[in-house]
A and B are shown apart, each in its own frame.
Chain A
Amino acid sequence: MEKSYIIKQISIFSENRPGRLAAIAGALRDAKINIFAFSIAEANGFGVVRALVDRPEDAHRTLTDLGFRVSFTEVIGIKMRDEPGGLSDIASILGDTGINIEYAYAYSGKGGAILIVRVDQVEGAVRQILDRGGELLKASLFR
């Protein structure tokens, strides 16, 4: 049950220099892969590009073939009310139930606002959010 909400995010190692994001994005464009959301985490000299895409397996293969270091990471996408307090509701559920957020990023679009999180206990997080009336993105959106 919980598994159907666990999304495969692709994570790509990238050097921190001009043109690297363009190379990744260009590769996904050429493979006709759509990006729902992404973020860049940076450290000294390198970064990790994390993205939710419509075809994670294809994206993984495409980028790997081009020589990128790519991995899958399990994340969940939590729907938020797109108004004051929306993030607070979700963060409180996770905090109150002792689930730690390792990293998070968000987007807000036509379909509402989504918080994407990597947590330390992914199945526990799914259960707690559903139990408390929260809504999650279905993994089936990302074939």
Chain B
Amino acid sequence: MGCWNPKVEGMPPEELRKAQYTLAKALITRVYERSEFYRQRMKEQGIRPDDIRSLDDIQKLPFMYKQDLRDNYPDGLFYASKDELVRYHVSSGTTGKPTVVGYTRNDIETWSESLARAFASCGLGRGDVLQVSYGYGLFTGGLGAHYGAERVGATVLPTSVGNTERQIELMQDLHTTAIACTPSYLLHMGEVAERMGVSIRDDTDLRVGILGAEPWSEQMRNRIENWLGIRAYDIYGTSELSGPMFTECSEQQGIHIWSDLALTEIVDPETGEVLPPGERGELVVTILQKEAFPVIRYRVGDITVMDESPCACGRTHPRIRRIQGRVDDMLIVRGINVFPSQVEHALLEIPEVGRHFQIVVDRKGALDTMLVRVEVSEEAFSDKITDLMMIRKTVEHRLRSTLNVGAGVELVEPGSLPRFEGKSKKVVDRRSL
């Protein structure tokens, strides 16, 4: 698919790194001068802008956390003056105080640019009608997609969320070709459409979905693509980054992170140590051209893997894989980081057991033990004990190779495992440390 900004998107990796260094150096210098908060952080770490002499020196800089945004509510982190700001967004405070982010004109500019490139990489452009069914308002999803789509020359249909039947009517009447929403909302739309006697596959022009803002899986992608007859692309962004957002390209093999806009690292969530490409860890992002407030080595809390190998689309910017979980959900078992989402993915590939599970971590003497409780599927249930033991062996084997740490497996009666999505009941940690 054609690039929106061919010069930047195809820039040789070495040049890209040079550009990143120049931008990072300018950012640190600017922030050190203007942000009292981050200057203080750097002083505590005993580091000055002069100490940044290569791109790798970025690793010497202190991290920022969501807590920093909360502690400085509403705008204590802002260093841009009030008259430079053109917009605020506010995230909901479901897990604590709300957080406020702000944008200068350039911050809105780079945000739109990031999504213009992204949408073009999904094959969208002039002549497309993008229905934006992300929430408009304080949430960043709706307006982000809106500006990106206008930038790339598409026609925006700003439906926001809700009133699904009307959304489907408009989708037909105005010939929507692409939709931006959460994957679960699109599935809901598909069901509502069928009840209305409308097949999204046959009765609409929809061909692309830009889906995100919640965790989803390859299985869900396959279902959406096959059922609705569209191509479904993963989008990544979070309000705290307050700027660029990213999507997969037409290859659907990871999300391109525009390196001139964002510098990404993957770190060990426990130690903060930077991990080499290909290793799973916490995403850390520096927004290189941010002007309103510092977003430097921000610990996003999302778990992913960085892929720096060349992409078949020709874009030279690295990719992150589908987000695999949250740091808050991480367990450390015998020194190994374990994410409940890894267990979930492993189980999805074993037809003999259901998708529900519970992890029980305990400590026997000095050693951590992990037990994964699963249900035998109806098809696989045999009254021969040896068959059931074999299922248990299969699951144990798969978990060990996925998690790199051994876990016992317990077969339990159907319906006895928590059905809620929440973490609280899926993990029981009995260790008293």
Contact = CB atoms under 8 A, between A and B. Distances in A.
A88 B375 CA distance: 40
A67 B414 contact: yes
Interface in B380-410: 381-385, 388-389, 410
Contacts of A69: 375-376, 378, 381, 413-414
A-side binding surface: helix, strand, loop or mixed? strand
A54 interface: no
Interface in B203-241: none
A67 B415 contact: yes
Contacts of B415: 67
B384 A102 contact: yes
Interface residues of A, number: 22
Interface in A47-105: 48, 50, 67-71, 73, 102-103
Given A69-B376, A69-B378, A71-B381, A48 B388 contact: yes
A71 B381 CA distance: 7
A47 B410 CA distance: 11
Nearest to B389: A43
B381 A13 contact: yes
Given A43-B389, A69-B376, A50 B383 contact: yes
Given A11-B381, A13-B388, A71-B383, 14 more contacts: A13-B381, A15-B412, A15-B413, A15-B416, A43-B388, A48-B384, A69-B375, A69-B378, A69-B381, A69-B413, A70-B381, A71-B382, A73-B383, A102-B384
Interface of B: 375-376, 378, 381-385, 388-389, 410-416
Interface of A: 9, 11, 13-15, 20, 41-43, 45-46, 48, 50, 67-71, 73, 102-103, 118
30 contacts: A11-B383, A13-B376, A13-B388, A13-B413, A13-B414, A15-B412, A15-B413, A41-B383, A41-B385, A42-B385, A43-B385, A45-B410, A46-B388, A46-B410, A46-B412, A48-B383, A50-B383, A67-B413, A67-B414, A67-B415, A68-B413, A69-B375, A69-B378, A69-B413, A69-B414, A70-B381, A71-B381, A71-B382, A73-B383, A103-B384
